[in-house]
Amino acid sequence: MKANLPLFVTMIGLLALLWPHALMGQNASEWKKTPTGLEYLHIPMSGNKKTIQRGDYVTFHVLLKNYRDSVLMNSYERGPIPDLKVEAPDNPADVSQIFPYLAEGDSVVVKVSVDSLAKYSHRAMPDFTPPGTSLIYHLKILKVKSALAFEEEKNAAEAAQKNQEKAQIEEYAQKKQWKPVVLPSGLQYVVLQPGTGPLPKAGEKVEVHYVGKLLNEKIFDTSREEVAKANGQYNPNRPYGPFSFTLGRQEVIAGWDEGLAQLPVGTKAVLLIPSALGYGARGAGRDIPPYSVLVFEVELVSVKPAQP
C-alpha cells in the first residue's frame, strides 16, 4: 500500500517517506538502540543541537508501517500531530521515548517490536502485526515548544478567542436592543420577565424550560414541544417538558450552573454563554461547532430543596 501524498508536501517530507526503502539497505551498525531496546536511525537535518526535553510540546509528522510495508497511519494526508507533550512513558516500547534524542527539524526511523508492545500493553496485537515482527515509525519533527512557550501561546489564543466572542455577544445583544448583565466569567444574561420566587441554591433540584440556539438563530435543542414542531425538530421518541437537574453539580454546562443561579423562580431570561462556559473547542455533535457562543432562552419553572 503506497501513501497518496498531497502536492504541497515539501521535499524534506517526501524524503522522509522514501527513506524507509533506502535505509533498509544500510549496515546494521548504523542503527542504534535506546536503553529500553528501541532500534532507531536518526537523520539530523536541522543542525539544531538542542534536543527535545521532557515537558516540551512537539508537533510532528508520522508515517507508520507494518512488516509488509503497509501504511497504518499517515499524517501527511490528514495533517501533523499537534502539540504532543513529551513525558516519560510507562511503556518501555512506547515510540515517544525517542523524542529526547531529536531536535526540531530532525527525522528518525524507529523499529518497535510487536512482541514488546503486546507484553507491556497487556493487549493482544491485531492480525496485521503478527508476533516476531516490528512496527516501523518514520517521524519528522516540525516544531518544538517549551512548556512556558506553549502556555504563553495557549493563554494568548484563549484571550483572543474570549475577546472575539465578547464582541460577538455584544453585537448580538445590540441587534436585539438588550442591555445584558455581564458577569466576570464572561457570561451575560438578559431578564425578559422577572420571577417572584426564591433564588436557587447549589444542591437544589431545578426545573427549566429552554430553547438553545446559536448566534445565527439556528435552534439545536429545546424542551418545548411546540418550538420543536415549529422548527422541524420534533422527535416523537423523546419526552418534552421542563428539564430537571441539580444546580452546581456540573451536571450541565458551566454557563447553565452560573446563569440559572442568578434567576429567581419564575424568571424568563436569555443566557448568552461564551464557548469556555459551553462546549469549548470540542463543540457538541453536528449542530454545535467548536468555539460556539450559545444562546439559551430559559424559564426557571421550579426549585426543590436539596436531598439529604
Catalytic residues: 210, 220-221, 253, 279, 296
Backbone torsions φ then ψ of 91, nearest 5 degrees: -90, 115
Residue-wise DSSP of 38-62: -EEEEE--S-------TT-EEEEEE
The β-bridge partners of 60 are 81, 141
Say if CB 268 and CB 299 are below 8 A apart. Answer: yes
Q: Which helix (H) or strand (E) holds 145?
A: strand 134-145
- Among 277, 270, 273, 279, which residue's Cα sits nearest to residue 300? 270
Q: CA 269 to CA 299: how far, in whole Å?
A: 6
In one letter, which amino acid is 14?
A: L
Q: CA 282 to CA 292: how far, in whole Å?
A: 10
First to last CA, the chain: 62
∠ CA 283-180-264, nearest 5°, is: 90
**Cβ-based neighbours of 73, under 8 Å, separated by 6 or more:** 62, 63, 64
What are the grid coordinates assigned to 276, written together? 469556555
Give the single-character DSSP code of 241: S
Say if CB 56 and CB 147 are below 8 A apart. Answer: yes
Q: CA 74 to CA 95: how far, in whole Å?
A: 16
